[in-house]
Amino acid sequence: MARRSLQPIYWDGDAVMIVDQRVLPHKDKVLRCTTPRQVIQAIKKMAIRGAPAVGIAGAMALALGAQSITAADPKTFRRKFVGLCDRVRAARPTGNNLGWAVEAVYSVAVENPDADVPTLQRLIREKSQQILEEDIAINRAIGRWGRQVIPKGARILTYCNAGALATGDYGTALGVIRAAFEADPTVHVTCCETRPFLQGSRLTAYELLHEGIPSTLITDNAAGSLMQQGKIDVVVVGADRIAANGDTANKIGTYTLAALARANGIPFYVAAPRSTIDPTIANGSAIPIEERDPKEVTHFNGRRVAPKEMAAHNPAFDVTPNKLITGIITEVGILKRPYRKNIRQALEQA
Ligand code: MRU
């Protein structure tokens, strides 16, 4: 399968190829994964990240694993496959798309009870590719809806990386920005560096330059001041998991931006596919928040900054309450209050 220019993951024969986002933008390194374990490690170590991209990686890990399951009959195959699904699902906890993709791939085994093992292996591999391709189409739809809320010449603020690299391609929040820029080249993007992993300064900045979108990088701390000075017209961010009531988990610091946007009368949009919505979680307080290595906080670029004895706390995500969200841009439209009802209806749509 040919790789599109910023596509972070793709099949090459029987291998899953993952663009190593830890070394971007300065190195173009691609990991060749031939076992599910390698893909799971790539997810855990953030070589691939961003909720939709992690979901796609999970689906491809299952396809790799399915290929190597030795089973004389479909029943044994399914039993072994369930164990693999559990291991893949556990790779990262907060993003909903991983569990969603695992369910989607597992349903292939359930929906084809009479298929023999080689057929199941083929169908599972095809499903992983389908999830990738559908994600790209979904992002383009999110872009078409989202550009409608971006005013002419808008100064847009975004956070973390919700771009091509975080998805199958094109991006969610950055998909909205790409679509807005295609229609109106006078927009300007402010991108926050996004401590501690720097997805903004390394990945979003790289994507914005790649697309030729006028943009400026700021420290996370500068966002409030810019809003206060009237230099931001709209905020668009991605999401990792959206509860049934619209509360949204996204990269740590998103809640701060939403509160600042509200304080300054600036619309705050979340852009995400429906696969990010978790209807089993009533509100944001039940969203599992990943705690990452404290070294990401105590060290910078591999070098210790904080004193040796200093303890650090490193939650990777926070939850923005629905009341701070102007709208949730999905592939089927922009969801507004009352979120619980409108989210339910959006999930019921084909
Ligand atoms: O820890 P990361 O880099 O996986 O976090 C990514 C984000 O928080 C993104 O904003 C989110 O996954 C949406 S990506 C389309």
Residue 77 above 80 pLDDT?
A: yes
pLDDT tens figures, 271-293 = 999 999 999 999 999 999 999 99
Average pLDDT over residues 115-139: 97
Residue 2 above 60 pLDDT?
A: no
What's the CA gap between 200 and 257, in Å, rounded? 14
Residue 4 above 80 pLDDT?
A: no
pLDDT of residue 215: 98
Q: How many CA atoms are closer than 13 Å to the CA of 110, on its beta-carbon side?
A: 7
**Cα of 110 to ligand 1 centre, how many Å?**
30
Instruction: Please state the domain extents for the chain.
Output: 9-140, 141-348
**Cα of 99 to ligand 1 centre, how many Å?**
15
pLDDT tens figures, 208-229 = 999 999 999 999 999 999 999 9
Average pLDDT over residues 85-106: 98
For ligand 1, whether the C-beta of 167 sits within 6 Å is: yes
- Structure-token pair, residue 282: 């009533």
Atom of ligand 1 nearest to the CA of 250: 8
Annotated binding site for substrate: 49-51, 92, 199, 250-251
∠ Cα 192 319 239 (to 5°): 60
pLDDT of residue 301: 85
> Probe ligand 1: pick from 54, 169, 174, 199, max atoms within 8 Å of CB?
199
pLDDT of residue 350: 87
pLDDT of residue 302: 87
Tell me which fold the domain 9-140 belongs to.
Four Helix Bundle (Hemerythrin (Met), subunit A) (1.20.120)
> Probe ligand 1: pick from 49, 198, 206, max atoms within 8 Å of CB?
49
> Probe ligand 1: pick from 21, 136, 161, 291, max atoms within 8 Å of CB?
161
Residue 266 above 80 pLDDT?
A: yes
What's the CA gap between 50 and 58, in Å, rounded? 12
pLDDT of residue 113: 85
pLDDT tens figures, 6-34 = 999 999 999 999 999 999 999 999 999 99
Q: How confident is the model at residue 265 (pLDDT cuts 50, 70, 90)?
A: very high
Residue 165 above 90 pLDDT?
A: yes
**Is the pTM here over 0.95, yes or no?**
yes
Cα–Cα distances in Å, from 262 out to 201, 240, 325? 25, 21, 9
Which residue would you say has higher pLDDT here, 157 or 1? 157
pLDDT of residue 3: 57
As separate numbers, helices (DSSP H) first and strands (DSSP E) second, the chain gives 12, 16
Q: Is 240 a catalytic residue?
A: yes
To the nearest whole number, what is the mean pLDDT of the chain? 97
Residue 1 above 80 pLDDT?
A: no
pLDDT of residue 18: 98
Annotated binding site: 49-51, 92, 199, 250-251
Q: How confident is the model at residue 72 (pLDDT cuts 50, 70, 90)?
A: confident
Atom of ligand 1 nearest to the CA of 171: 15
**Cα of 54 to ligand 1 centre, how many Å?**
9
Average pLDDT over residues 84-101: 98
pLDDT of residue 94: 98
Cα–Cα distances in Å, from 139 out to 4, 52, 90? 15, 10, 25
Q: How confident is the model at residue 310 (pLDDT cuts 50, 70, 90)?
A: very high
What's the CA gap between 212 and 250, in Å, rounded? 26
For ligand 1, whether the C-beta of 160 sits within 6 Å is: yes
For ligand 1, whether the C-beta of 97 sits within 6 Å is: no
The residue annotated as part of the active site, out of 240, 247, 278, 318, is 240
For domain 141-348, the CATH architecture is 3-Layer(aba) Sandwich (3.40)
The radius of gyration of the chain from alpha carbons, rounded to an integer in Å, stands at: 20
Same topology, domains 9-140 and 141-348? Answer is no
What distance lies between CA 216 and its chain's CA centroid? 22
Average pLDDT over residues 318-342: 98
pLDDT of residue 5: 80
For ligand 1, whether the C-beta of 172 sits within 6 Å is: yes
